[in-house]
């Protein structure tokens, strides 16, 4: 009987090992050291004529996801009410990814799935406004998404509220001049702008529904085909089925980086370095685990390698990161000099 009990426990123990968080790569220049970078004005010296598409831009995936445990957290926690956003902007992050729940009073709260991230959309816009007022040579690109599906593990929007785009329009009206107007016109998507046209402003790249879907009349026309996951100009293979599959994700990021570097600089590319599943959680995909190299350290090594190893990268496009390190942020920005 005793032996039978121990045999019955084996699958439970194995399951616990698979689900339990495993040690990730140690904090270093690529991973979990965002505060070691300080680039609050890196765009200021770039020519007004340069297109946003020609830039190399560090970004964050699920920018304000700092709560909820290892399955949910994607960024270092520098404070709630979007204080974490300010830390990222100061480090040099210039594309952000914000997910919203429709709340009572026709307002948005920031969520990652079912987890409220102790920040509201007013917090986000206030922090963006303050940063851009203090650093008018910069611009911030925003991917905005309706988060709630009402399914298990997700959130549910409050009932009896205005439509998602109507609520969004209410915010843009309350923050006049913060958004680059052609990207939030509601009537037509905009072409990719030059830096001079958008200094001191937020550029909406895309606005998505809860199951993908691209809201017409908002964002940039180049991303009209960006719904959920990957598209022509976006690599977002976000399901990484296991720690072993991190190698596949690394290769997807590398291949898209090479495509971006060789492509027409008038085209804007967005490369998500992030990914997750129950068996490969965000911090593991970013930093590595169980002897498997994470995407972040791989990226920094790849970007630093010379022509004797591979064709050098000349432009990264936008790279959306989980738990970025200061050295990786600095390296991406360095391509703009």
In this predicted structure, what is the pLDDT of residue 337?
Answer: 87
% the chain with pLDDT above 90: 91
3-state secondary structure string across the chain: CHHHHHHHHHHHHHHHHHHCCCCECCCECCECEHHHCCCCCCCCCCCCCCEHHHCCEEEECCCCCCCCCCCCCCCCCCCCCCHHHHHHHHHCCCEEEEEEEEECCCEEEEEECCEEEEEEHHHHHHHHHHHHHHCCCCCEEEEEEECCCCCCCCCCCCCCCCCHHHHHHHHHHHCCCCECHHHHCCCCCECCCEHHHHCCCEEEEEEEECCEEECCCCCEHHHCCCCCCCECCEECCCECCCHHHHHHHHHHHHHHHHHHHHCCCCCCCEEECCCEECCECHHHHHHEECCEECHHHHHHHHHHCCCCCCCCCCCCCEEEECCEEHHHHHHHHHCCC
Residue 288 has pLDDT above 60, yes or no: yes
Predicted model pTM = 0.93
Q: Domains of the chain by range and CATH? A: 21-334 (3.20.20.190)
> How high is the pLDDT of residue 24?
62
d(CA 198, CA 48): 9
Q: Is the pLDDT of residue 20 over 70?
A: no
204: pLDDT strictly greater than 70 = yes
Mean pLDDT of 108-120: 98
pLDDT in tens, 26-55: 799 999 999 999 999 999 999 999 999 999
Cα–Cα dist 166/170, whole Å = 6
Residue 229 has pLDDT above 50, yes or no: yes
Which stretch of 5-14, 54-63, 263-272, 314-323 has the lowest confidence by average pLDDT?
5-14
pLDDT recorded at residue 210? 94
| Stretch 86-112: mean pLDDT | 98
pLDDT in tens, 295-332: 999 999 999 999 999 999 999 999 999 999 999 999 99
- In this prediction, residue 43 carries a pLDDT of 98
Q: Looking at residue 219, what is its pLDDT?
A: 98
Span 77-93, average pLDDT: 98
Instruction: Check whether 6 has a pLDDT greater than 90.
Output: no
Task: Match 């879907």 to its residue by tokens.
Answer: 213
Q: Is the pLDDT of residue 95 over 70?
A: yes
Is residue 65 within 8 A of residue 73, CB to CB? The reply is yes
**Structure confidence at residue 26 (pLDDT):** 78
pLDDT of residue 25: 67
The whole-number pLDDT of residue 22 equals 52
Look at 5-19, 54-68, 73-87 and tell me which has the smallest mean pLDDT. Answer: 5-19
Residue with tokens 């895309």: 206
> Looking at 11-25, 240-254, 295-309, which range is the least confident one?
11-25
CA within 13 Å, CB half, 83:
8
Indicate if the pLDDT at residue 15 is higher than 70.
no
């Amino acid at each position: 009987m005793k032996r039978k009990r121990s045999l019955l426990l084996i699958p439970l123990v194995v399951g616990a090992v698979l689900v339990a968080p495993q040690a990730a790569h140690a904090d270093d220049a690529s991973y979990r050291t965002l505060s070691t970078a300080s680039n609050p004005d890196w765009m200021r010296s770039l020519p007004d004529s340069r297109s946003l598409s020609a830039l190399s831009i560090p970004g964050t995936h699920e920018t304000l996801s700092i709560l909820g445990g290892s399955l949910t957290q994607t960024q270092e926690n520098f404070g709630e009410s979007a204080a974490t956003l300010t830390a990222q902007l100061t480090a040099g992050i210039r594309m952000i990814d914000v997910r919203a729940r429709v709340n009572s009073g026709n307002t948005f709260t920031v969520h990652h799935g079912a987890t409220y991230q102790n920040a509201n959309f007013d917090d986000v816009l206030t922090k963006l406004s303050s940063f851009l007022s203090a650093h008018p040579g910069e611009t911030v690109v925003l991917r905005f998404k309706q988060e709630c599906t009402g399914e298990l593990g997700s959130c549910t929007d409050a009932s009896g509220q205005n439509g998602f785009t109507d609520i969004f329009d209410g915010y843009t009206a309350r923050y006049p001049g913060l958004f680059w107007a052609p990207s939030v016109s509601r009537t037509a998507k905009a072409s990719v702008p030059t830096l001079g046209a958008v200094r001191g402003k937020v550029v909406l790249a895309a606005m998505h529904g809860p199951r993908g879907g691209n809201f017409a009349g908002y964002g940039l026309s180049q991303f009209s085909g960006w719904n959920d996951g990957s598209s022509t100009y976006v690599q977002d293979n976000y399901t990484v089925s296991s720690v072993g599959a991190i190698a596949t994700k690394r290769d997807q990021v590398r291949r898209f980086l090479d495509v971006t570097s060789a492509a027409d600089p008038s085209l804007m590319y967005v490369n998500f370095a992030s990914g997750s599943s129950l068996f490969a959680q965000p911090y593991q995909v970013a930093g590595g685990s169980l002897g498997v190299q994470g995407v972040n350290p791989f990226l920094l090594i790849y970007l630093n390698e010379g022509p004797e190893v591979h064709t050098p990268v000349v432009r990264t496009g936008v790279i959306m990161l989980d738990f970025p390190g200061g050295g990786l942020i600095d390296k991406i920005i360095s391509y703009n000099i």
